[in-house]
Amino acid sequence: MSPPVTDLSDQQPRLTGKALSAGYETRPVLKGVDIAIAQGKLTVLLGPNGSGKSTLLKTLARTLKPSAGHVYLDGKDIHHSNTRDVAKRLGILPQGPIAPEGLTVKQLVGMGRFPHQTLWRQNTKQDAEAIREAMAYTNVTEFADRNVDALSGGQRQRCWIAMVLAQKTDLILLDEPTTFLDLKVQVDLLELLSRLAHEHGRTLLLVLHDLNLAAAYADHLVMMCDGRIVTSGPPSEIFTAANLKRVFDLEARVLHDPESGSPVCVPRKQPASGLAPIQ
C-alpha cells in the first residue's frame, strides 16, 4: 500500500463529470449531471431505485458512453483515452460480478495486474508483490488456492476487492459492493474501504443502498433523484429529514449517534388507521 496520507482534500479532483446525460436505448436516465470526486475521500452515491446512481457510476467508469457531456480523468476525456492507460489509474468493481467455475482466489486477484502486464512482461516481482499485498489487506490470503465459487458471499466480495486493489489504482469505483451481504459483513467491508481512503490516500466512489451505513461511512454524500443530483456534502450537513423526504419520499427522523455523532435515520411508523395502499 502507498504510505499514509493525512489530507488530500485541497487537491484538485482528478475525476470529474461535466453535463452528463446517459441512458439505455430510448430511456434517458442521467439528465445533465455535474460531479467532481473529492481526492482521498470516500464518496457515496445515494438515491432511490432508478435515480441514476449506478448509471452515473458506470458513465464515470467509462463502461457506459454518455449521450451528452464528458468525463475527464486527469484532464483527458476518459471515453477517448486508451482503456489500458485508464485502467492503470482507475479501478472499477461492477455490481454482482460472477467468477467463472474453477477460478482460484489467487488467479482472480492476479487478473487485477492485467493493465500492467504485456505479452512479454508477465508475473514480475511487482505483480507478485501487488497480489500478495492485496490479498493480505483484504484477508483472503488463507483462501489463495481455493475456488472463488466455493466461498461465502462476503469472502467472495473481499476477493473481488482484492482484484481491484492489485490493480494499484488511486481511484476506485464500486457499484453496490455490499448488496445481499449480512450486516456484519457489510460493516467489515465498509471499514476496509474507508481505511483505503483515510490511511492510504485512495479516492473511492461507492453506490450504496443502506442509508445508515452510507451516513456512517461516507466523507461525502451525493443524493440523486430522477437522474439529477439533488444535494451533496458531508453527511452531518445533508443527511437531514427534509432531504430524505425530498430524495426518497421517506418519512423519517434523523437522530445522532451519541458516540460518533454520525446521523442515523429512523423511519416514522404510519399510524395503524392510515395504512397507505400497497403500490
Partner 1 sequence: MTKSTVLLLSLLLAASAGLSLCLGSFPTPPLEVLGALTAPQNSDITFIIWELRLPRIALAILVGAALAMAGAILQSIVRNPLASPDVIGITSGAALAAVLFLALLSTHFSLHWLPFAAMLGALISALLVISLSWKNGINPSRLVLVGIGLAAATGAGTTLLIVISDDAAAMTAYVWLTGSLYAAQWKDVEGILPWLLVPVPICLAFARHADAMALGDSVAEGLGVPILRSRMILLACSVALAGAAVAFAGGLSFVGLIAPHLAARLVGRNMARLVPASALVGALIVLYADLLGRVAFLPKDLPAGIFVAGIGAPFFVYLLHRTRRQR
Give the binding range for partner 1 (CB under 8 A) out of 10-18, 112-120, 190-198, 240-248. Answer: 112-120
Give the binding range for partner 1 (CB under 8 A) out of 71-79, 113-121, 208-216, 234-242. Answer: 113-121
- Residue 172 near residue 202 (C-beta atoms within 8 A): yes
What's the gap between Cα 5 and its chain centre?
20
Nearest to 194 by CA among 220, 169, 176: 220
Binds partner 1 (CB under 8 A): choice among 66, 91, 177, 235: 91
Give the binding range for partner 1 (CB under 8 A) out of 98-106, 189-197, 209-217, 231-239. Answer: 98-106
Amino acid identity of residue 13, one-letter, is P
- Residue 145 near residue 29 (C-beta atoms within 8 A): no
Q: Does 100 bind partner 1 (CB under 8 A)?
A: yes
Which parts of 154-213 interact with partner 1 (CB under 8 A)?
164, 167
Q: Does 112 bind partner 1 (CB under 8 A)?
A: yes
Binds partner 1 (CB under 8 A): choice among 9, 12, 50, 84: 84
Considering the complex, what minimum distance in angstroms separates the CB of residue 207 from partner 1? 13
Give the binding range for partner 1 (CB under 8 A) out of 59-67, 211-219, 225-233, 234-242. Answer: 59-67
CA distance 158 to 86: 23
Q: Does 218 bind partner 1 (CB under 8 A)?
A: no
Q: Residue 207 or residue 244: which is nearer to partner 1 going by CB?
A: 207
CA distance 136 to 111: 16
Rg of the chain in Å (alpha carbons): 19
Considering the complex, what minimum distance in angstroms separates the CB of residue 95 from partner 1? 9
Q: Does 51 bind partner 1 (CB under 8 A)?
A: no
Map 117-172 to HEC letters: CCCCCCCCHHHHHHHHHHHHHCCCHHHCCCEHHHCCHHHHHHHHHHHHHHCCCCEE
- Beta bridge partners, 171, equal 90, 203
Count how many residues are written for the chain: 279
Q: Does 63 bind partner 1 (CB under 8 A)?
A: yes
Beta strands in the chain (DSSP E): 15-24, 27-37, 42-46, 68-73, 76-77, 90-93, 171-175, 203-207, 220-225, 228-233, 252-256, 263-267
Q: Residue 4 or residue 100: which is nearer to partner 1 going by CB?
A: 100
Q: Does 47 bind partner 1 (CB under 8 A)?
A: no
Binds partner 1 (CB under 8 A): choice among 11, 122, 124, 126: 122
Q: Residue 122 or residue 139: which is nearer to partner 1 going by CB?
A: 122
Q: Does 66 bind partner 1 (CB under 8 A)?
A: no
CA distance 138 to 109: 11
Q: Does 61 bind partner 1 (CB under 8 A)?
A: yes
Number of chain residues interacting with partner 1 (CB under 8 A): 33
Footprint on this chain of partner 1 (rule: CB under 8 A): 58, 61-63, 83-88, 90-94, 97-103, 107-108, 111-112, 114-115, 117, 119, 122, 164, 167
